[in-house]
Chains A and B, each alone.
Chain A
Amino acid sequence: MLRLRASRGSLGTERAQEALAGYSFIAIPMMLFLVFNIGSLIYSAYISLWRWEILGPTDFLGFRNYAFILRDEVFHTAIKNSAYYTVIVVPIQMALGLLLAVTVNQIWRGRSFFRAAFYFPAIASSAAITVLYIYIMNPDGLFNHLLQLIGINPFGFHNQGNWLGHQDTALNSIIALNAWTTSGTMMLFYLGALTAIPTEVYEAARVDGAGPWTQFRRITFPMLAPAHYLVAVTSVIGALQMFDQAIIAGGADGNPNYSLMTVVLYLYNAAFRQFEFGYAAAVGIVLFIIIFSATLIQRRFFGSSDWAEAR
């Protein structure tokens, strides 16, 4: 190292060269990120100020698109649905993910089998799974048959056994679907963090007479704080962007009775069914602000400094 440094001259030049090499490695991904992420974000913000249709901008509207969004009842419903969905699905995903991770972590034989099995729904195409799910939840479907087998008559319910077709049960049915399909991903995040907890801590706890529940409550759960943050942030972002399951199960119009209208579906409608790209861009910016604020709040709540410390 010393010889190298000597041959290349001063410390400053070497650092500069190292930095240059580093930057050149990240140059391409950074450029893509700047153009396609930051660039399109800025461009969307610009588009959102215009009446922008198929052939491009026609009138400058200022913030009138935003004013219109905030007045539209369907958008209110979309926000309500997305918020309800997020508030219910995220804790379930986290709890399921944690439960699976802790379980898999304690299995020694066939651990990779269970890990793969639990992760499988997350890698299967969500469109394919949703179509299957529609069949399962159909009035004639497997779910109602199972209910009948255990002596429950689903057709006596308020929704007449039409889980995805009734306004009172459609969104909750999608929540059940997504809690299942995404918990595998959450499990992987938690598994990674679980292996990072030093075994000495558990040994010390056992010496002090702590049982499994106490160990979980006092050691595992708090030491997973950085993972909680990561899992919460990713699942909140994913939940607020829910679109595919809604459009496949309910159609583009968000039926039954707008119960499957989400913010992204609303955006899709504005862009590709009403051809109002300026308005759709404004919806995108509103969604960005919501997601960004939600992430900041979670950062406050879980604290991000723990993440660095735990690594």
Chain B
Amino acid sequence: MRRLLFLAASAALVLQACGGGGGGSSNFDASKVSGTVILSGWQASPEEGVALKAALDGFKATYPKINVDYQPVAGDYPTAMVAKFSAKQPPDVFYVDSGVAPDWIKQGVLQSLDDWSSSRGFDTSQFYSGYLNAFKGTDGKTYGYPKDGNTLGMAYNPDMLAAAGVQPPTTYDEMVTVGAALKAKGMIAYSMSPSLDRILAFIYGDGGSLLSSDKKSDAIDKPGFKEALNFYLNLFKQGYAKTPSDLGVDWNGKALGEKKVAIIFEGGWLDSYMHGTFPSVPYKWVEMPKGSAGKSTLAFTVSYSIGKDSPHPDAAWLLLTYLTGKDGMTLWTQGGVANPSRKDVAAPAGKEVLVSSASFAHPWSFIPGFSKVNDAFNNAFTGALQGNGSADTIISKTKQALDQQLNQP
């Protein structure tokens, strides 16, 4: 039944999209566009290559006059792309990670898509806003559409929780109870990263935030931020949580796989790792526990964007909107290599929690120069964790770095 509804909804959408395209104000005629567009991105696994090929085959069937020259970048993607931007020869369509998007938007290397989407009738309302907003510039324009997305969820080992006689925690308070119950049995409940890309989910959960909603000023002093920091620090102090580094592993997934802990907070990338490396270790996904301000998680996403001054803007636009549209995204995500960023594309099996969490997710995308703020937070947090500082130190160091970036001309 759900599937039927889904099909009906998507058919309506396709009709609407087609109608919009035909009756748009510009003279744009998709059927007349031809040429070769260069597509670049990185490839995390061979399975991704297969899924992308399926999507590109679908594109070729829809737009036979357009050729796609796929040129994946190996190695350090941002650095390789910066070299291409500097040489004024970027690919026509390429991946942009949400973390780096504000920098690239500010530097003027990406094409704004709003004029085209309105004149050519591309409906963006089906994207989860947590993903789409990651690619909005300070000017309010959109510079990329999310090709897929991931949220953080809570992955737990049901056997270990059963051994301690507890249910998976659903609130921050329960996290403390569960931590204590496992500790009483000689187990460690949580492997938690001492880094902003995990802690921020808890900060949002307690109502805190880094930035004001217009991203023009910092909001660190508002309530919620310090409470969440103290809660997170306290889990370590009580011995309920350990960092991956202190557990002797390189990331939380390995701590779960080696049964060093019962609970971690990660995204969909955990699945292929667990199936490949620890196929016999049981784990389940549930939503992130709720804070005092309600549900929250972080949205990590990557867009397809078009290079400013692309020599083939029309063909690039068609490729971009096909791959981020319903059909292209269905082909790309159905094998389970990625989670859809659109509400009208069904979640692959086993990914339901992570896909639906997008409805309350905050994008991992902030302001230009954010890597310095991120580093300031992470270093201050590790410092505090190792006895050099407190929540106040973390706040003041992060605020200092944030204000420095906000006040840059």
Binding site for B on A (CB under 8 A): 53-56, 73-74, 138-141, 159-160, 162, 164-168, 252-258, 261, 269, 272-276
Contacts and interface: CB of A to CB of B under 8 A. Distances in A.
Given A54-B82, A139-B247, A162-B245, A257 B386 contact: yes
Contacts of A261: 379
Contacts of B27: none
A165 B245 contact: yes
Contact of B107 (A54, A162, A258, A273): A54
Contacts of B372: 74, 269, 274
A283 to B, nearest CB: 14
A246 to B, nearest CB: 13
Contacts, number: 81
Interface string B97-125: 00000011001110000000000000000
Contacts of A138: 248
A114 B79 CA distance: 42
B383 interface: yes
Given A55-B88, A255-B379, A273-B78, 10 more contacts: A54-B107, A55-B107, A74-B375, A165-B243, A165-B245, A168-B386, A255-B382, A257-B388, A269-B371, A274-B103
B109 A274 contact: no
B107 A139 contact: no
B374 interface: yes
A275 B103 contact: yes
A272 to B, nearest CB: 5
3 A-B pairs with the lowest CB-CB distances in the bound complex, closest first:
A165-B245, A257-B383, A140-B248
Nearest to B79: A272
Contacts of B283: none
Contacts of A272: 76, 78-79, 82
B246 A162 contact: yes
Interface string B184-208: 0000000000000000000000000
Contacts of B374: 253
Given A257-B380, A272-B82, A54 B109 contact: yes
A273 B368 CA distance: 10
Interface of B: 76, 78-79, 82, 85-86, 88, 103-104, 107-109, 243, 245-248, 369, 371-372, 374-376, 378-380, 382-383, 386, 388, 400
A141 B243 CA distance: 16
Contacts of A255: 378-379, 382
A273 B371 contact: yes
Nearest to B384: A257
Given A53-B107, A275-B107, A256 B247 contact: no
Max chain B C-beta neighbours (<10 A), residue from A166, A253, A274: A253
Contacts of A55: 85-86, 88, 107-109
A247 to B, nearest CB: 11
A256 B86 contact: no
A160 B248 contact: no
A165 B246 contact: yes
A141 B378 CA distance: 25
B385 to A, nearest CB: 9
B406 to A, nearest CB: 14
B248 to A, nearest CB: 4
B82 A275 contact: yes
A189 B245 CA distance: 38
A139 B375 CA distance: 24
A252 B99 CA distance: 15
Contacts of A166: 386
Contacts of A273: 78, 371
B382 A160 contact: no
B379 A254 contact: yes
Contacts of A139: 245-248
Nearest to B260: A140
Contact of A269 (B245, B375, B380): B375
B243 A253 contact: no
Contacts of B246: 139, 160, 162, 165
B379 A257 contact: yes
Nearest to A77: B379
Max chain B C-beta neighbours (<10 A), residue from A140, A252, A269, A273: A273
20 contacts: A54-B104, A55-B86, A55-B108, A74-B372, A138-B248, A139-B245, A140-B248, A159-B386, A162-B248, A165-B246, A167-B383, A252-B375, A253-B378, A254-B375, A255-B379, A256-B245, A256-B383, A261-B379, A272-B76, A275-B82
Max chain B C-beta neighbours (<10 A), residue from A140, A255, A261: A255
A216 to B, nearest CB: 44
A139 B245 CA distance: 8
